[in-house]
Structure 1
């Protein structure tokens, strides 16, 4: 039985977790052969390579680590096995998993295609000593985009050599640009990508335009990272593993998992991280609330597997209470299981950072879980990159985005918000 998963940069947390579960599994089932197949690639490349593997029964893995935003598209493509019969016979599924996390692994018709092993939220990491040095308040909690820009401009003026605001944008960072970057802006404008009432994609809105204008502002005013550090799939690695431990990043808009880089088991161990970086909620554009985005990963079974029961037994073991605690602590992510969240080891993890990010669940959002989303996400990345490099204006980028989306979903499935 084969298990495919992404491995990129210096992090090997998924491999460590799966290797541990493999050892447990082989004690329960002596003689079973389980092959771990790491795919060394960035997020977008991982999706592409996994897609290619799934096109043939000879290369398709039995189990795959699946991004929740791809569940619908991969299910539609016939790559994933429905798992309702398995999860419905597993008491922990209904008893211990948060309902929202169960939904994250479902298609639009209610078919379950995976078991989530982590989820996440996003916020603003900020350098507390640096903020004090340049005269910014600590603790810091911005209430609008204007507050963020004001802090970034202060850092730029008073701390030469420090990147004021690290913000993922453009095609090389893939879905991270869309979700950690653009959607963290858009969903704070109270506009969305998809209108759930009309069931149409929103291709033009004031919030979309304002979000692109924010991207333009930070990159043209040198408030964000240099383009050579932004337009590379290593952007996150550069920020979190190289520059943040040197206190060369003032603010980073990113997820809960980033502190795992600095743990003793991480790729860039840094014992003092918690005394340096704090976390703030991401504010809405005009100060009327806060926002976040949530995603996560599942263990899914290939539709082409000949070992369905064995694959399910492995997933059930991997996602039990203790093994879930293992991966969620090591990977520094929000757990999908209520019983894990209540464990003392989890509640105290990361000096309370996990619980801090978990509180963002009160105002978080999820990406539209439709088969067209991956293509739409790619169009957003194109729009961001064109704006940040100065190729087009934000208004032109939105117009191009609207045309691209309309071309492949059809005029009947798009709408504009004035």
Structure 2
């Protein structure tokens, strides 16, 4: 293609794109006509045009899209995602996802600022949404800050709702998108807008993703701490419920600290009556559990299913060894968690024997443990070989009583109960003795 679009003769023009009828009075169909477009839009099939847009070739974009050219073209793109599609003969095929996009979307998503400016100056519809999202949506997703700023300066709607029910602020989901969120809020974006299906506010999204700076920004603009999404979660619930690897613990702890310091309810229940502490125990984040307990989280509240926070951590301990779940077990017990019924300890051993320190912390809260031959049979031989000292000491409890030092520890812990952490501060105890009372790990049972 060697001439600008406006100078192409009709037959050549028709071979490059075809009219597309727009359907529906709502959703993205309505967004297509928002700028008063009355004629059907054209679908571009010219690879020269597409290559110029996808590579950000400004001279080519300027040549191809002249003063009189149609810049509101539709382009069908293929993503890297696969999906199964059904055919009329009942056959299924694995194909790539196809979606409609436009020159504005392509250049905005890739950060081609000069190309985007040229298209906007040539009459590009800033709120065109051929694939269900406007160019502002895709720019926020890609965190192309300068493109977000340019689109807003040309009148892009900061509150536009995509076909999936998200506003641009919901799509600021990376650390690099912080300035995009700032620009949206300055342009009037609703800080408490709820997505249509999940009913998440931007604060839910930022908290769930561990974006501490986004949370700080949203709180500064008046984000609601107690907004509920479709699952009944507050932003604090959402942050605590999100599984994350140990290296991400710092970010989630900072998010939750900000929410709690701003006044978030530490015991807010979601639709299943799960509190933030229940969720944090499922993710086995010991530092987050300690933070919630320090802010007064109730350690023994039950969910609808009858689980306490201690139940939740014991259920996942064997599957999250890299998170050090024994630290969560110890933290809960030191804050007055109700112990497991002694008759159920064998079941706990079967489920948690792969995490011996979690078993150690729990059993060190009992003055006697009903060890039988079943306990020996419950532990696989390979685990006994990996932790011989601990399991030999455990199995020996069936033949001898607990040590006197341990019995004194149990008596003192029983007397202080949930006041234990505060009570020990008032007692002039040497650090080794204090640590012993707080269930210091020794990899052996006395």
TM-score, length-scaled by structure 2: 0.20
The structure where strand makes up a greater share of residues is 1
Rg comparison, structure with higher value: 2
Which protein, 1 or 2, shows the higher relative CO under an 8 Å CA cutoff with sep ≥ 6? 1
The normalised TM-score by structure 1 is 0.21
